[in-house]
Structure formats: structure tokens, C-alpha cells
Amino acid sequence: MAKILVIDDEKAIRNALREILEHEKHKVEEAEDGASGLEKAKKGGFDVVLCDIKMPKMDGMEVLEKLMAHDDTIPVVMISGHGTIDTAVDAIKKGAFDFISKPPDLNRILVTLRNALDRGELVQETKTLRQKVQKVKAGDARMVGSSAAMDAIREMLDKVAPSDARVLITGGNGAGKEGVARMLHEKSARKDGPFVEVNCAAIPGELIESELFGHEKGAFTSAIAQRKGKFELASGGTLFLDEIGDMSLAAQAKVLRALQENKITRVGGDKEIKVDPRLVTATNKDLRKEIAEGRFREDLFHRLSVIPIHVPDLKDRAGDIPELITYFLAKVCEEQGIILKKISDKAVKELQKLPWTGNVRELRNVVERLVILSGPEVTDADVKRYAG
């Protein structure tokens, strides 16, 4: 049984659709105009929305656009007695699942409804799987450890996560900044929303604005279709900008404006779009030094660093290394499909002596190397031979 919203200003059409849908054991709610229909749809809980196009107060195409901006996972079927091919194509482009002409054909409605419900189930399954993947990542080794430094980070996350305060995470490459960001998201009220990550250092300067804010079709040579940016995609969830210190000054200015107004404009467009992501950023650079040298905006820095969290290098929390080794041994052996290997105390002590300039990421790689190259037990001789 599905919950379906019917938005139509003609009572006879609403009654006919209700009779058909309730006969199929579905639960039906009605709205007699676009404005009230949109209000009901935004409250959520509907599996499918059936929406007329010509209505008072707000027409169906506007309802569709606003609903897609709010939640583009809801299947919306447009119904119209004045339909043309152009209208149908326009509706599909704007996110409609399907288009049906009036008077609606019974079989067509039932087939379209079944397909829409199947699609809704797939979308929900995908969302659930993504959340599970995020939870696995949130619980990864970068937050393993019982040192005072890690305990302090966990305590800070417990305090900060329930708020929407912006967080700036600092630390060396491979120290675990992403793990902290993911755990912050998982502990927050936004945990059921998306966690969207952008590596600012990996995106060419000329493309970063399109990546963050999206673009309209034809905005530049390769813009063959409209595309939503990460600020839009992360609305209702968390936007994690990794390596924020590598962002160009031009892009920094636009990020600052987005934070000030909670609105963005796609590249090549002039329409302002309201966005609501929680912003979490990370960097391995000294941003105060970058500010002094003119490479980072001071006003943006103060906007981002409401809550600063520093992740120490692995060499500064060597006491966590045994726990991390245990974690990685189990994980790597499982991935390789082999029986869990042991590691001698002497081997652990040898690993603790290493400088770990690559931090947790380097330790993981070394443990994997040792698992592959050593015998049933990893020894100190293995460490001396393969970990250097």
C-alpha cells in the first residue's frame, strides 16, 4: 500500500483518481490547488504525487520545480487536459516521472503508478546503501585510538555535532581529517541527509565553481546539460570541502557569499537558489600564514573556523599504533580472503619506532604489505625487511 497525493483543482478528477487508487488499496490525500498541494508534498511521507498542470494560485509546473528543488527523489506524475508534446517534454526535463493526458486512462494510470513505486523503492534502497557505506567509512581506522588526543576529539565531536556550527579540521596528510568529518556528520541531526565531499586540490581552478555551484546548459563549451553543484546536492546534509587551502581566491569569494546568504547561483545562470548544507572544511596548510601571504581570505577563514579541530600526526600519538595495527590486520585479511594473521609484540614495537610521515594512511599501506609478504605471523624481522 502506497501513500499518494493528488493535486488537482477539478473535484471530479480528484474523486475519480481516489476511487481508482483506493480500489488498489492505496492511501490517498487531496489538494485542490498548487499552493496547498506543494505545502502537503513538502511535509513528506508520500510515495507518489499526481499533479495537474492548470491550477489556481500555483500551476503544476511551478509545483514540480519547487518540489524537485526540495526533494528530487519523489516521483511526480503530471496530468493535464491541455497537454502537448512540448508540455510533456518540458515536464520530464524538469524532473517529472511521467506525463498523462486527461481524461486519464485507467490502465495507463496503474502501469505508471506501479513503475513510479518501483522507482521510489530503488531510490530508497540506494539511499539506504549510501548511508550504510557512510557509516562504514565513519567507523574506519582514522578514529581508532584511545590516546588523550583522540579522546579529546571524540569529546569535541559529541559537543559540536548536534549544532550546525561550521567546523575547520586541520592536520597533516593522511592524519584522518576525513574520518573526523564523517563522524561529525554521523553524530549530527543531519545524519540521514547526504554527506558530500569535494577535494578542492583535485579540481582544476577553472572547474571548481561549476563543481560547487553547478552550471546551466551552454554555460561553457562542455556544459551540454544543466548540472547541480555540490552546495545544492548537500542541502539538508553535510558538505565537506577537503583541502580548502588550495581553493582559488575567486572561488573563495563565491563560497563566502553562499555562506552569508545561504544562496548560490549556477555558472551561466542568474537565478538564486536557496541551499542549506552544514559546511565542514579541512586543510593541511597553515591558513593564517596563507592569509598573511595573500592566498586565503581572512573573512572566509573566520566564517569557516567557528569550531577548530586539530588532528595530530601519528608520530604524536604513537600509543594508538597497536590499536590501529590490530584494526588494519583484521580489515586487510578480510579483504584478501585469508585467515587472520598474528603479529608479534616485537614487530609492533618496531612499527612504533617509524616516523610515519604519511600518518594513518601510510600505516595502513605498510600493514597490507606485511600481510601479503609475511608468513602466518608478522615478525620484527618482517617489519625491518618490508616496512622501510
Q: Are 4 and 49 in contact (CB under 8 A)?
A: yes
Q: Has residue 120 got a pLDDT over 90?
A: no
Question: For residues 290 and 293, what is the distance between their CA atoms, to the nearest angstrom?
Answer: 5
pLDDT of 49 > 70? The answer is yes
Residue 382 has pLDDT above 50, yes or no: yes
CB 298 within 8 A of CB 251: no
Q: What is the mean pLDDT of residues 17-24?
A: 90
Same fold, 3-125 and 139-312: yes
Domain 139-312: give its CATH architecture. Answer: 3-Layer(aba) Sandwich (3.40)
Q: Cell numbers of 59, please?
A: 500551476
Closest CA to 194 of 154, 141, 230: 230
pLDDT, one tens digit per residue, over 194-220 is 999 999 998 887 788 899 999 898 887
The answer to whether residues 323 and 343 touch, using CB atoms and an 8 Å cutoff, is no
Classify domain 315-386 by CATH number.
Answer: 1.10.8.60
CA 221 to chain CA mean position, Å: 27
d(CA 111, CA 103): 16
Can you read off the three cell numbers belonging to residue 167? 567546523
Mean pLDDT of the chain: 89
- For residues 112 and 301, the model is more confident at 301
Residues of 145-157 as b/e, b for ≥16 C-beta within 10 angstroms? bebebbeebeebb
Beta bridge partners of 281: 168, 241
Contact (CB, 8 A) for 265 and 213: yes
Cell of 376: 602466518
Domain ranges of the chain: 3-125, 139-312, 315-386
The model's confidence at residue 127, banded by pLDDT at 50, 70 and 90, is low
Angle formed at CA 260 by CA 95 and CA 225, multiple of 5 degrees: 25
User: Looking at the domain 3-125, which fold is it?
Assistant: Rossmann fold (3.40.50)
What residue type is assigned to position 117 of the chain? L
**pLDDT tens sequence across 64-111:** 999 988 888 889 999 887 767 888 888 888 899 999 888 878 888 899
Total-model pTM: 0.64
The phi and psi torsions of 162 (rounded to 5 degrees) equal -65, -20
